[in-house]
Structure 1
Amino acid sequence: MVRAAILPAVGAPLEIREIVLPDPGPGQVRVRLAAAGVCHSDLSLTDGTMRVPVPAVLGHEGAGTVLAVGAGVTHVAPGDWVVLNWAPSCGECHHCRIGEVWLCVKALSGVGGVHAHDAEGVELHPGLNVAAFAEETVVAANCVLPAPAGIPLEEAALLGCAVLTGYGAVHHSARVRAGESVAVFGVGGVGLAALQAARIAGAGTVVAVDVSPAKEELALAAGATAFVRACDTTAREIRALTEGRGADVAVECVGRAETIRAAWESTRRGGRTTVVGIGGKDQRVEFHALEIFHFARTLSGCVYGNSDPARDLPVIAEHVRAGRLDLGSMVTDRIGLDGIPAAFEAMLAGKGGRSLVVF
């Protein structure tokens, strides 16, 4: 048996219990987790913003060591370090065929399966395919990627979601060019990765925006050249920092209607806003027809940073090894499984960067 964080029902508190994992079957891999990041998407599963079958073992951003492999698995072996890939692409659907693997229609097909059982025999589902909030997990072979060499395994966990998403939002979705100005809304795990990615892209003015003034130090360390506390005048303050025009690019990492609207308003005429944050159906963003015409701005969604993990992990790893991207600086709390509920509360309160469950 291994310990895991289980969501018994939508809206219910997490329960830390022992579960029984099966041996890996054909095409499966068993992994001992070294660490797992606590992501806002996990919180979105608990409150029903994102829907998955329950009861479920949550957690999707993780890295660990392969313990065993099932028949037919050849790309990893026992003892290998791996990063979990919670949204594997099938390679066959329309989106995969045209290179948009982050929109694969089968990426979450595993969430409805039975991942494990609790001590009473109740079937458990993998929250986002990989069930990383557990000491060990069993996943499909396409849910593991070899961990990049030269990166501590605990920190490599962040590569599985926060870094791929933040880096991809800047480089693949917004396509930030050298010298452009960037505003990043939300200085959590993904926002910190986006700030570092903007610096790597050669952005000029980089403005971090957050409701908490305590995030300023984190933001400046990540590459922000200025920090603005979110308020009714945020867009005006960003324009003042960008010669009155507004930012070339805004990256929204919160998922709230007012933040999306503020990000859009903070960009110049012809500017680009990329929305990374996951909001609920109750979050309505309004525009009138004349402003859409007049400002000629672009507003786009961004799933998983529009990233292809197999392609992008080696690139990001080289930035880490070269010292251009600092994974450790994104982690503000190292916790155990029992600390996940408190990490959720801190996230809701806008406190800290990434919380990392260390096993």
Structure 2
Amino acid sequence: MLSNLENTIRGTRGNLLEQIPAEKVIRPKGFYKSIAIDFLTVASAFYFGYSANNFLQTGGVVALSFGVFPLLLFSSLEVILTKSLLRRVFVLVLETIAILSFFLNEQIFYLAVAGGIFLVFSLWGEILSRSEILNCIEVRFLKSTFPLLNKTMTALAFIVIIFYLPHWDSKNIFISKPAFGGIFTFSTGFIHDFYPEINFNSSVNDLAKQITIYNLTGTHPYEDLPAPAQKTLLNEILSQTQEQLRKFLGSNLSGEETLRDVSYDLVLKSLVNWREQFGGWFIAAWLAVLFLIARSFGAIIIWLSALVSFLVYQLLMALNFIAIRGESTTKETVKFV
């Protein structure tokens, strides 16, 4: 009798337990989307590290510029979409590791300084942007993300300069020949758009000939001369132009050297002389100049990145990947009574 009662109680208890639904793990909305944004942000930091290392070795200015764009883009999306500051700090640490992974052959001191500067400036910009977001009723994308973009660009400029320092040696004191070549080609590309008749990557003699022809073509005294007289005048002015270039670039030139190589030797010689004359003061000034140049280019990249980020932000809303929701909040204030 007692055993039957015990079996009945056990059966009833089992049925009641079966009726209780199992607790389900419910992911918050956008859980996997936020992970995707975090992954792309870290991947963009990894790509910047590759671009910066490539720039220091080969002088790829364009590649370095394109390496900055994705990191700024995804960082601006992170500050808008990631609500948890702790999670954002964790992502920043991963970004730092991704960037430094391409410079593991450098000394620990340089790695620590570069990583510390990136974390401090990135976190600084993150706090400023979050403060801007909290103080705005509406989502103002550009105004909210600009503090972060500015601080991040400053950090990236410092990183390139810090890892530029260990590459100094007796023959390559201030800037490597590949890096100078990349900057020279990038700069002369703009000038070539205004003077397509002149190839600034040619030899000194060819450059002198192109400049001479450019100056004479279209002038009435030259065009009115017969062909033999034109050739004679061209050769005379060409000799004068070549002589002027040799005096400016160096008297020991054969004329077959490229303008890029001659310009590099001229700049390097001047920098070495200034370093011997002014010592450590010149090195400090040279680093300051490099930083200002990097930030000047960075200002252009910031505006372009902000524009592209805003377009991507609008596209994500159009695709219903993200959405704006209104929230009512109550805040405490302190005032005089």
TM-score (norm 2): 0.28
Which has the greater radius of gyration?
2
Q: Which has the higher helix share?
A: 2
